[in-house]
Structure 1
């Protein structure tokens, strides 16, 4: 062999070795997790909007008018609408946020949500009328709807195959952190100071998330391959060569979706899309019909019924801590067991807890002596319910939504599913008192027991495990391809 041939062989061997090294490049997940944490600061803002009424309602209802921006005490009906207007705004917003996420990007849609939270809080600070509080709550609802629509899309598209389950469960953890934030601070500060404390959350989110990358899928869809490559290098902590395989896979997936230009009707025309819609919307429906809003509504009453001497604000803080602790375990548990198993376990345990809650209220009316002897039961059932909700049906339907749909219909799907969530949340919040008056507390809880029971076969039949699958492999599975 000549020296020239030897050199060619040496160069070829070096290039092959280098190529293998790039393919095996491990990268780093630090920036990916940082991005996921910063985008979920928007979820903390959602939590503060949801939990806002708990510490504020007592201030507005204070007959001494010592810590209220109003010169009068709002009626019970006015206070109910203050609570219900966030879900009302949130069910309208997804139909704007979904198309906007396709037009200006997931990142800028999420950043725009902070404007709604800030504007709402400015209205609260400057108000002297119930009407202005109504407007602020409705605008907050738009912020909630924007986050709940765009954030699952963003997380689903920036995650690697082995982190999607973990990162998808972050939303619930950060939402309950936001709820605990206002629960723990609100009762102990003035009305106006609370608004400024809440204002810090969307401001910090906007300032920090501004420096994070856009979704590589969005960039590819807009023909910006260089920007997609840069975003992927940042998120994976790899060199340009190290992300080529994944970049090619994203490009193939997006181009296949774009070849089939979609309309909202394509959600039901395609077999794969229809299956994905049934799974995603079904899980969200059962999430709301599991009774989470009612459980949180009844928290103070349950503590009172057991003879607890805890103050109501301390009781809500305890429940908030339980929610955060359980949600903190979710990424670990889901990574080990997968979403499907956790959804099944969650539905079973929530069914048991709701059944026990209904039993307690039944005995309280029909056998007070026995109810008194098991006064610990509703608290135990409450803790079981909240823990398993936070491990399963709280975060995982949103994680499933973020990975089920191809790029060309993802925004439509997110809009439909997010609005479904808030329509049910609005109706349940508004009419639960009427349900209790009509059939009693026991049967009201048993209605939720039945809903949780139906969620078990629905999940078993329809939901498949996506752990370790790429977004394209999920699409192949939905469309019956091997």
Structure 2
């Protein structure tokens, strides 16, 4: 038996390697499916069919995000069952070891470290091998994480499974917005990007629901099917047209673009190809890549600075602290005797409902208006909670009137669910330029992991030292600072193509100067959209 395995393993490895490196890898699923067959001359004239195809490719991402939401919420199912005396794995056996103590805090701060590492792992994969291969990698990593958890026979193995799941989630952070943003039309892009926060919220709700009915092993087994289904669906999706054009594969880009969008958005396709051709000509005139000049480019550093502050608002708004310390926050704001679990379920339900509404609302209002209004509402709710708790501690208000803090917490969660959580994913899918999209996305997503780690790690200490009023006051000040920076750097992206947004950051003058530079260096000839010169 062992001899057969020895012979089979190299053969399997060689077969997989040959398939992944073949030229037909990207087209494989489209060739075997009659409904999704890829044809470079195929054009969709039916807008409804085009929207349906965009829904399909976005669903492959969404199902994976539900799985990653389950990764986040799985700790709430796992820890109570491990603490049960009848559990086959007892945390008490390793409670005094460093691994046991670390495990007890995995749902809070340690997850930020795995997200940080994963976000940087995704950048070279999706930049060099494509968005589709990166999505394959993420799905397989998630499968390994869930399998490790299911087969675990000790706390240490469970921790390894959690870390692998966190790495998969971290790799998904920069890819999710980029992939959906590149697949979808400008008129529907905001709604599609808003589903990121909705699907993750549904994943948390899903794992809590299943975990209340099944054991943690069976819950993990159910969750295993989420990345598996996403992996199968990804087989039948094409590569991103933006990545194809970045590699100079213009004919394939045209075919995928027409397959996804039809004929209605030909202008965006031509502008994207022409911009890439001009960029390649400019690069040929440069003897070597000047990293310092790249970092100094507006289209590189401005979106990164913008997204660092946008993501920071999402974490400081209460999305991270309420998810990890929700019952503690509710008891501190209301009073210790309140049914914090029931209030937490109510806030979770509100999040799912408001996230669903945000999918439709995002297409009605401009991005800047939504960010500004929800940001101001979030700051106001923080200050109102500070005022209420202070007056309650001074016996000016009765602690029995829990409807007052209940309304204030719901207002805070409303602003978080409507803007602070969904908008970062929407904006991230729109502002990064094509050439630096993978790197810039990973850098900004690394700030998410860092901010999440700091917020979750410092929250208990802040509450112990300055109380919930001081903590919320600090958060309100930081939120106000972030909001000012965002309003200064953020362009209006609603209804604009990705190329138009990129050109806006670069400035029309820069583009004209590059064209004059090309002509002065002897690059004569008219540039056409196919990348040839006449």
TM bucket by the smaller chain? 0.7 to 0.9
Q: Please say if residues 94 and 418 of structure 1, whose CA atoms lie closer than 8 Å, have aligned partners that are also in contact.
A: yes
1:336 aligns with 2:361: no
Q: Normalized against structure 2, the TM-score is what?
A: 0.79
Q: CA deviation at 1:245?
A: 3.7
Q: Hey, what's the Cα distance between the residues in 1 that align with 2:426 and 2:366? A: 12
| C-alpha RMSD of matched pairs (Å) | 2.6
Paired position in structure 2 for 1:14? none
Aligned mate of 1:356, from 384, 387, 390: 384
Equivalent residues in 2 for 1:50-61 (5 A)? 50-61=72-83
Residue aligning to 1:282: 309
Q: Give the Cα separation in 2 of the matches to 1:441 and 1:36.
A: 40
How far 1:93 sits from its partner (Å)? Answer: 1.5
Pick closer, same or farther for the CA change 1:46–1:266 going to 2, 3 Å.
farther
CA displacement at 1:363 relative to structure 2: 4.3
Map 1:38-53; keep pairs closer than 5 Å: 38-53=60-75
Aligned with residue 58 of structure 2, among 32, 36, 47 = 36
1:251 and 2:267 matched? no
- SS of the residue corresponding to residue 139 of structure 1 reads helix
Name the counterpart of 1:19.
none
Distance 1:127-1:267 versus aligned 2 partners, 3 A rule: farther
Distance 1:257 1:86 in 2: 39
- Give the CA deviation at 1:193: 1.0
- The one of 390, 404, 420 equivalent to 1:377 is 404
1:318 aligns with 2:346: yes
3-state SS of 1:93 partner: helix
Cα deviation, 1:356-392, whole Å, max 9, x if unaligned, reads 333344345443x724143223322222122211211
- In structure 2, C-alpha distance between the alignment counterparts of 1:429 and 1:80, rounded to whole Å: 10
2:299–2:502 Cα contact (<8 Å) kept:
yes
Residue 289 of structure 1, CA deviation: 2.3
The CA distance in 2 between the partners of 1:263 and 1:136, in whole Å, is: 41
Deviations 1:194-218 (A, max 9, x none): 1112112111111112211111011
Query: What does residue range 116-265 of structure 1 map to in structure 2 within 5 Å?
Result: 116-236=141-261, 238=262, 244-259=266-281
| CA-to-aligned-CA distance 1:216-245 (integer Å, 9 cap, x gap) | 011122232332222212212x36xx6644
CA pair 247-378 structure 1, distance change in 2 beyond 3 A: same
Indicate if the aligned counterparts of 1:221 and 1:255 stay in contact, CA closer than 8 A.
Answer: no
Q: Is the 2:383–2:473 contact (alpha carbons within 8 Å) kept by the matching residues of 1?
A: yes
Q: Point out the more displaced range, 390-399 or 327-336.
A: 390-399
Q: Partners of 1:69 and 1:266 in 2: how far apart?
A: 56
Count of aligned positions: 455
Distance in 2 between residues matched to 1:299 and 1:356, nearest whole Å: 18
Q: Which runs of 5+ in 2 are unaligned?
A: 1-42, 284-288, 510-534
SS in 2 for 1:336: coil
Residues 1:244 and 1:351: Cα distance change in structure 2 (over 3 Å): closer
Q: How does 1:339-418 map to 2 (within 5 A)?
A: 339-367=367-395, 370-418=397-445
State whether residues 382 and 472 of structure 2, in contact with CA within 8 Å, keep that contact through their aligned partners in structure 1.
Answer: yes
How far 1:265 moved relative to its partner? Answer: 5.0
- How far 1:311 moved relative to its partner? 7.3
Q: Is the 8 A contact 1:263 1:409 kept in 2?
A: no
Distance 2:291 2:359 in 1: 32
- Kept in 2: contact 1:67–1:190 (CA 8 A): no
* Correspondence for 1:439 among 458, 466, 476: 466
**Distance of aligned partners of 1:71 and 1:453 in 2 relative to their CA distance in 1, 3 Å threshold:** closer
User: Matched residues in 2 for 1:302 and 1:285: separation?
Assistant: 20
Provide the C-alpha distance between the structure 1 equivalents of 2:239 and 2:290, rounded to a whole number of angstroms: 24
Residue in structure 1 matching 2:449, options 422, 429, 435: 422
* Distance in 1 between residues matched to 2:375 and 2:77, nearest whole Å: 30
Mapped partners of 2:159, 2:294: distance in 1: 34
Residues 471, 107 of structure 1: alpha-carbon distance in 2 compared, 3 angstrom cutoff: same
CA distance in 2, matches of 1:414, 1:426: 19
1:36–1:155: 8 Å Cα contact kept in structure 2?
yes
| TM-superposed deviation, 1:434 | 1.6
Q: 1:401 to 1:37 in 2, by over 3 A?
A: same
User: Which deviates more from structure 2 when the two are superposed, residues 418-427 or residues 247-256?
Assistant: 247-256
